[in-house]
Structure formats: structure tokens, C-alpha cells
Structure 1
Amino acid sequence: MTRFIFKRLGIALGVLAAATYLFFLLAANAGDPLDDLRASQQKNRDELIAARTAELNLDVAVPVRYFYWASDAIRGDLGTDYRTGQEVTDMIATASGQTLKLIGFSSVAAIVLGVMIGVISALRQYTGFDYGVTVVNFLLYSLPSFWVAVLLKQWGAIGFNDFLADPVIPPLALLIIGAGLAVVVGAAVGGKWKTRLLAGGASGVFAMIVLGVMSATGWFTDPSLGPIVILALGAGFAVAVTFLSAGLGNRRALYTTLVMALVGGVAWFPMQTAFGYTDGLVAFLQLLAFIAAGYVVGLLFRGPDKKVSARAGAITGALVYGLLWLDYLMSWWLPYNETAAINGRPIATVGSSTPQLSGNTNYWVGTLDTYTHMILPIMAIILISLAGYTRYMRGSMLEVMNLDYIRTARAKGLPERTVVMRHGFRNALIPLATIIPVDLASLIGGAVITETVFGWNGMGKLFVNALHEANTNVLMGYFLVTGVLLVIGNMIADILYAVLDPRIRVDA
């Protein structure tokens, strides 16, 4: 493995050197960094042109200029922005932090949803659900990202903000939502038509009741969960986590997750005080405490495989803490929405924060402001990425579920959950594990169109601005960072493939 890594690293460095050289040639000829000075009417224009020419080495041949830049880059100096004098490393650090906010949330959500939908679609092959997912996937593939972003601005921001002015859901809308959910759930559940009808009908009626109560009580303007809802949702998470990770037949794991759900309901009362002193670091430590508590509870219940119970308890603990944190965040929604800067229109269409709130916010109001600005670009990236992950997972799962060892597992009488989750699902993740690192690395380069439409000052926007200004140092800094990340992503993908699939011989 060590020999393989060093071999791949050597190849990657050669590719990166050649790529940066070619990109430097393109960037140097992409525009004239002296355009603004040539059009200037200042008396010292010639002196300014001479100074910038010397600063950017414009009087030197482009290939030689590349080696000047490369020698500085090796020492960690990426130069400065000739317009502002700001260090390129500082600009990239700020822009990449903004991009990581979007990529972190959207990528995790797209991967989780894509894997889940892809697995269900594969298990329900040639059903109405499978055909529906296929149609939606091809639709999302074909939609231009800028058009998706504009639609989200219109309906996700402007439309929803108008709805909040009078947040009442009419009966016809409730009926349509309930019927749509019933069809989707019924198709996803599969089985006999009675089972589908019961599951779909129950889901649709439940959704109508919940939305009707939320509409009647004004929940959309002053949302909250409360200990009872947290306890109920925690119990649902407990059953789902146990089913997926251990199977409902593992009673010790089920008891562990249910205890953590109960802990969440009881912890609501002391956490109302604790959250009053919470910031980002404290919230992270609280999350770790709930994860550790779930792990310990699982070990205490022991059972035939105590690590399975501990893992299920830790996952449930994290989910329960998320509910508690979300509930307290909701309690700040009304004061945030009523501030003069927001004025009852909380979902933002542009930017990464509300300038008028700067310096006058606590952790919770600042978090709400950040999330309301992130929600639309995150949704845009999810919709664009979701189709790919769904199709990859569906195809991989179909291939695995038709292999001989799956038939053998079923012939041995193993439960279908065990066959799907332990034998099928794990092996179906191998192709996806080689794709995700590369996708994430490329996304960190910035969702150029999405960031431009939503005015998000991330890596994509940095690249566009630098290209317009013929700012070679910034362009090269951007390309170097994204290129290194892509090289690392490719190496991780190769290593993961070799680790997950023992048939791959890396030292051959």
C-alpha cells in the first residue's frame, strides 16, 4: 500500500505541475490587468502602469513568469491581489470557508437522500416508484442550475415569505399534499396492495392532520417542538436506527435506543437553561456528550454484540440532541422574524448574512440568519447532485442484488433486512465510495453558477471575479487549491477502492 501511495503521489505531482503551467498560460492571456490604468485620466498614469508591470512581472515572458510564480508557491506565497493588496491565501481561506458551509450541508444531504432513494428504487425495480424516480432523476439532470436557482428564489423565498404573512394552509392544499404523500409512500413500501394502501393512507392522513394543526395554531410564525414531540420523534428515530443497524429482533439494541429517546424527552427541561449559555464550541461538546451517553447505555445493556447496541445508542443520542438543539433554535424564530432588518421576510434571496444584524446577535440569532441565507443555495446544489447519487446507487444495488452470494444468503434463510443491509448495501457502496471523494473535491472549487445567482462569496464567486479582472495571482491560487483537492480526492478514491475491495491488488 505504501508503494502504491507514493507511486500515485508522484504521478499526481507531475499532473499538477503540467496542469498549473497550462492554466497559467491561459490565465496570462485571459485579459489585460492594465486595462483600468490605460483608461485612467490620472496624471501619474504612466508611473502606475510601470509600477503594476513591475509588481506582476508583465515585462517578462509568460513561461518565465510561471516559474517565478511556482517558486513562490512552493514556499507558500501565492502573491497578492493587485487591486486590493490582499494576500491571495487570506482571500482563498475566507472564500473556501463560505463554500464549505454550502458544500458540507448540501453534500451530506444529497448523499444520504441519494443513497436512500437509490436503494429503495433498486428494491422496487420496475414498479411505479422506480419509474417515478427515474423520470425525476432525468428531469433534474436536464435542468440548468441557474434556472433551478431562479425558481427557488421565486417559490422558495418570495412565495414562502408571502405565505408567512398569512400562514394558513387551505383544505384543498392539505388534501393534495396528503394524497401525494400517500401515493409516494405506498409505492415505496411495496408488497400487496392492501399493505400499500394502509401505509400510504396512514401517512397521508397523518400528514394532513399535522399540517392542519400547525396551520390552525400559528406554528409557522412561532414554531416549537416541546418535550412530548421530541419524545415521540426520538422513539421513531430509535426504531428506525435499530431496524437499519441491528434489526428489531435485537432487543438490547432496541432498548438502548428507546432509553436514549426517553433521555431526550427528559433532558428538554435542563437543556432549556443549558442552551442559554451555548455557543458553537459548547454545542459541539454537548453533542459529544449525548453521543457518549448513548454509547455507554448500549454497553450497559450488553447483549450478544454490545458494540452493535452501543453504536445504535450513539447514533440515536446524536439525533436526539439534534432535536433538542432544533427546538431551542425555533424559540428564537419569532424574535428574529420580527426584527426591523428581517421585517417578516426571513428567507433571503442573496448574500450570506444580513448586514443590519451584524454585531447585534447572539449565537442563536446568528445561526438562524446564516441558515436562512444558506437554505436556497443548499437546496439548489442538492437538487442538482441528488440525481447522480440516486442513479449510481440504484445501478450498483441492482448489480449486487443479482449476484450469486445474495441468492446463497437468501437460500440459507437469512432475514431480508440482513441480506439487503449487510450483504447487499455494503458492497453496493464500493463504486459510490470512489465517486464521492472526487465529487466533494470538485465541489469545494465552488458552485460557480449557484454562488453567482445567490450572491454567495465563495470560491466560485472568487474565480468569476478574478477572471473578469484578469487577476492571475488569484486565478492561480484558486486553481492550485482546487487542483490539489482533486488530486487528493482521486488518491482517496483509489485507496478506498483498494481497501473496500480485497480483489484489488495495489502492489501488483
Structure 2
Amino acid sequence: MVTYIVRRLFTAVLILLGASFLVYQLTALSGDPLADLRESNQPNKEQLIQQRVELLNLDVPAPLRYFRWLGGAAQCLVPFVGSCDLGFAINGQPVTEALGRAMGMTILLVTGAAILAVVVGVCLGIVTALRQYSTLDYGVTFMAFLFFSLPVFWVAVLLKEYAAIGFNNFLREPHIPPATIAVIALVSGILWYICARGTVKRRLLAAVTGFVLAAGILWALSVTRWFSTPGLGLAVILIAGVAIAFGATTLAAGLKNRRALYSALAAVAVGLVLYFPLQPLLAQATTLMIALLAIATILVGIGIGYLMGGYDRRQNINAAAITAVLVAGMVLLDRYMQAWPAYFGNSRINGRPIATIGSETPNLRGDYWVQGLDTFTHLLLPTIALLLISLASYSRYARSSMLEIMNMDYIRTARAKGLGERTVVMRHAFRNALIPIATIVAFDIGGLIGGAVITERVFAFAGMGQLFIEALVRVDPNPVMGVFLVTGIMALVFNLIADLLYSALDPRVRVKV
């Protein structure tokens, strides 16, 4: 294993060297970085030209400049050196400074979109595979191909028009007209009908239930003006927590395992008991505090599952830990909602919280929760744009992989032995169906970052895509190479991780040493 990793890393270094040399030369030869100064009418034009030549080493041929850049970039990759020199941008700013700020925003955007796309896409793919040729299968397939065929910039423009401008106008007077309630409730009823199984009568009953629930919830939200002062509260957390406990137990152990179900319900009870004692602590929240609380939440879930005992403590632990994390997530979501009026009423927001441009609101003052809401509102639209585009491929690959696995001989053998359908799907089929997905995720990381270049341009998001485009326009090789270095390393690392995941997902696959 160690030999394989070392060999792959050595190959990756050679690929990075060759590719970086080509990119640097192409960028340096694509134009004149002094063009704007040559056309200037300023009296100190010659002095400014000389300063830029010295700053960017333009008096040195491009191939030699590359090796100077490579010497500084190598320091960034060597641990404990303490220095990292990627040169200067054309405006005199160190590339490490500009790249550090842009990289954090892009990684946050791409990570959120990638995680959501993988989770939602795989879930849709598995469900449609288990219900092949059903109305749900045809509907998800149609939507997947529709989103896959849409240009990301067009999706971004539509989101800015309807999800931002339209919703911001609605928030000024958050009243939902009866006609809108009826239309949304009708769509909800149709979705319930498509998702339901069984006879036509049973599906019609599900459709009516979905219609009534959607209409009732929307009416209550409109009457109570919930969008002005949103919140979940103990009642919603209790109902949703119990539903999560049953769902997590169904997936992790099956409802026949009562100890696992009781472990999950105990995790919900602990979350409800700690809801009010945690509020003063959350009022002083920091990133480190939230990280420590997340670790404590996982440990509490593990402890509850272990203390519950039984013949299979692992199932108890899985059910309790999943439930504890999701309930804690609802508590945090409720705390963010409590900060919404302060954020919405901030003078810098001006009553239009869903941002259409930028990665943050300039000069916004507020506590941890207000700053978190500001980050969320700026990430919302670009994340949805990337999610919709990448969601289709994951759902299609997951569906085809699951269909192939479900027709394998060992699946038939498992069913012949009398194993339940949940056990067959979750323990035998699901794990093997993830093997092709691991490869797709690794390859799509680079593609998702490439898509972020266009998305960031549309939303004026101050990430690596924006930095890359601006550097190309100015014929500025150093920022271009900084972005290339980060994206290249990420792509190679994720491909290595995908290869190593094979041996973890499938015991038949072993990495050759």
C-alpha cells in the first residue's frame, strides 16, 4: 500500500510539473501585461512600466521565469518550511494573499455543492433503481436529463431573477395568496401521488394527504407571518426528531430492532432536554465551540447506543449517532432562525437578504449567527446552480450501478436465504453500488471547480474562478498558476483517494503494491 501511494505521488508530481510548465508558457505568451501602461497618458508612464517589469520579472524569458516561480511554489508544498512564494499579481498584491482568501470561498462553495449533489443524487438513484419503470423513475429521469442539459450560466440567471429578486420582494410583505397556496398544494399532491406505492386508491389517498398538509402549512406560515420571525421551536424539533429516529433506525437496523429504535428516540430526548440550557451558550458561539459541540454530539450518540446494549451494539450506535447529529443540526438551524430578524433588519442588508452578487456583505456587523446567515445567503444561489447541474450525473450513475448490482447472483442468494429487503439493499447492494460513484466523485471535483469559474463570474463571487478570469484578462501568469496549482493538487489527491476507496468498499479489490 505504501509503495503504491509513493508511486502515485511521484507520478502526480511529474504530471503537475509538465502541465504547469505548459500553462505558464501559454499564459505568458497570450498577451502583453504592459499593454495598459503603454496606452496610458500618465507623466510617469515609463517609471510605472519599469516597476511592473521588476515586479513580474518581465525582463526574463518566460521559460526561465517559470523556474523562478517553481522554486517559490515548491516551498509551499514542503512541510515546515514556513514560507510560500507564488510571486506577485499585476497589481502588486502577493498571490498567496489573494489566493488564500479566494480559495477559502471556492472550497466552501464547491464542498457544499459536492456533498449535497452526492447525497441527494445517490439517494434519488437508489430509490429510482428500486422502483424501476415507475412514475417516480420516469419523473426523476426527466428532471435529471433536463438539468444536465441546461447551461450553468442560464440556470444562474434564472435563480437570480426568481429565487433572489422575486423572493426578496415577497419578504417585504410575506403574505401568500390563496391561489399560490392552491398551486403549491396541488404540486405537492402530485408529488405524493408519484412517490406513493400500492393501489391507485392508496396513491390517491397519499395525494390528498400531501395536498392538505401543504395547504395547511402554507396557510399557517402566511397567517403567523413566519417568514418575518422564523423558528422551529421544541414542537417542530420533537415531531421531526421522532420521524428522523424512525428513519435512521429503518436504514441502520430495521424497525424490528427495538433497542436501536429506543437508542434513536433517547438521542431525540437528550436533544430536547438540552435545548434550553444550550441557548445561553450558543449566544456566545464561535467556530471552535460549534466544532466541539459537534464532536460531543457524536460521542453522546455513540454512548447512548453502547449503553442500550443488545446483541448488536453497532446498529444501536449507528441509529443513535445519526439521529443525534440531525437533531443537533435542527437545534443549530433554529438558532440561525432566531438571528434572522437582526440580519434582515440590518441597514447593510436593506431588506433584501438573498444576495445576487458577491461573497459577503461589505462592512456588515453582527455576531456569529448574523455573519453565518450572511455567508449562507451569499452561498445559496451559486450552490443551487452547481447542485442542479451535477445532481443529474450522480443520480444516473447511482441508478445504473444499483440496477446492475440488484441483478447479481449474490443478491438472489441473499434473498433466497430469507434476508429482509432492507438487509439485502443496505448491507449487500448499496455498498457495492458506491464503487463506481467513488470514481465519478473524484473526476467531478475538477469539473465542479471548472463550473465554479462560470458560476462565480455570474454571481460576482470572490473565489478562485473570479481570480482566474481576472488574471487571464490582465495576462497575469502568477495568479493563474496559483489557481492551477490548487485545482491540480485537489484533482490528483481525490483521484488517489478514489483508488484507495476501492479496497475499502469491495474486499475483492486490492491495491497492488
TM-score range, shorter chain: over 0.9
**Aligned partner of 2:492 among 487, 493, 499:** 487
- Preserved CA contact (<8 Å) 1:257 1:312: yes
- Residue number in structure 1 paired with 2:442: 437
**Aligned partner of 2:347 among 328, 340, 346:** 340
- Preserved CA contact (<8 Å) 2:129 2:399: yes
Amino acid at match of 1:436: V
**Aligned partner of 2:144 among 130, 134, 137:** 137
- Residue number in structure 1 paired with 2:505: 500
**Compared with structure 1, are the counterparts of its residues 347 and 55 closer, same or farther at alpha carbon in structure 2 (3 Å cutoff)?**
closer
User: 2 CA distance for matches of 1:34 and 1:202?
Assistant: 68
Amino acid at match of 1:324: V
**Compared with structure 1, are the counterparts of its residues 334 and 56 closer, same or farther at alpha carbon in structure 2 (3 Å cutoff)?**
closer
Q: CA deviation at 1:390?
A: 0.8
- Residue number in structure 1 paired with 2:390: 385
- Residue number in structure 1 paired with 2:460: 455
Q: CA deviation at 1:189?
A: 3.4
User: 2 CA distance for matches of 1:325 and 1:6?
Assistant: 42
User: 2 CA distance for matches of 1:355 and 1:181?
Assistant: 39
User: For structure 1, which segment, 443-452 or 19-28, has the greater mean C-alpha deviation from structure 2 after superposition?
Assistant: 443-452
Partner deviation per Cα, 1:137-181 (whole Å, 9 max, x = no partner): 111111111111111011101111111122222233223222222
- Preserved CA contact (<8 Å) 2:386 2:448: no
Question: Which runs of structure 2 are paired with 1:31-180 in the superposition (5 Å)?
Answer: 31-76=31-76, 77-180=84-187
- Residue number in structure 1 paired with 2:23: 23
**Aligned partner of 1:414 among 408, 412, 419:** 419
Amino acid at match of 1:415: G
Q: CA deviation at 1:98?
A: 0.7
- Preserved CA contact (<8 Å) 1:92 1:478: yes
User: 2 CA distance for matches of 1:194 and 1:422?
Assistant: 33
- Residue number in structure 1 paired with 2:10: 10
Give me the TM-score of the superposition, normalised by structure 1. Answer: 0.95
Partner deviation per Cα, 1:22-51 (whole Å, 9 max, x = no partner): 111111112211112211223343343234
User: 2 CA distance for matches of 1:121 and 1:82?
Assistant: 50
Q: Percent of aligned positions with the same letter in both sequences?
A: 49
**Compared with structure 1, are the counterparts of its residues 195 and 410 closer, same or farther at alpha carbon in structure 2 (3 Å cutoff)?**
farther
User: 1 CA distance for matches of 2:342 and 2:57?
Assistant: 54
User: 1 CA distance for matches of 2:447 and 2:145?
Assistant: 22
User: 1 CA distance for matches of 2:57 and 2:181?
Assistant: 66
Is 1:201 aligned with 2:230?
Answer: no
User: 2 CA distance for matches of 1:51 and 1:364?
Assistant: 45
How many pairs does the alignment contain?
Answer: 506
- Residue number in structure 1 paired with 2:223: 216
SS of match in other structure, 1:312 = helix
User: 1 CA distance for matches of 2:54 and 2:92?
Assistant: 15
Question: Which runs of structure 2 are paired with 1:261-272 in the superposition (5 Å)?
Answer: 261-272=268-279
Is 1:254 aligned with 2:261?
Answer: yes
**Compared with structure 1, are the counterparts of its residues 133 and 346 closer, same or farther at alpha carbon in structure 2 (3 Å cutoff)?**
same
User: 1 CA distance for matches of 2:171 and 2:72?
Assistant: 54
Q: CA deviation at 1:395?
A: 1.0
Ranges of 4+ aligned residues in structure 1 off by more than 4 Å: none
User: 1 CA distance for matches of 2:71 and 2:271?
Assistant: 56
User: For structure 1, which segment, 295-304 or 82-91, has the greater mean C-alpha deviation from structure 2 after superposition?
Assistant: 82-91
Question: Which runs of structure 2 are paired with 1:177-326 in the superposition (5 Å)?
Answer: 177-326=184-333
RMSD: 1.8
SS of match in other structure, 2:170 = helix
**Aligned partner of 2:381 among 354, 376, 390:** 376
- Preserved CA contact (<8 Å) 2:435 2:505: yes
Give me the TM-score of the superposition, normalised by structure 2. Answer: 0.94
User: 2 CA distance for matches of 1:502 and 1:183?
Assistant: 43
Question: Which runs of structure 2 are paired with 1:420-431 in the superposition (5 Å)?
Answer: 420-431=425-436
Unaligned runs of 5+ in 2: 77-83
Is 1:365 aligned with 2:370?
Answer: yes
User: 2 CA distance for matches of 1:102 and 1:62?
Assistant: 34
Question: Which runs of structure 2 are paired with 1:393-404 in the superposition (5 Å)?
Answer: 393-404=398-409
Unaligned runs of 5+ in 1: none
- Preserved CA contact (<8 Å) 2:56 2:90: no
User: 2 CA distance for matches of 1:220 and 1:71?
Assistant: 55
SS of match in other structure, 1:355 = coil
Amino acid at match of 1:176: V
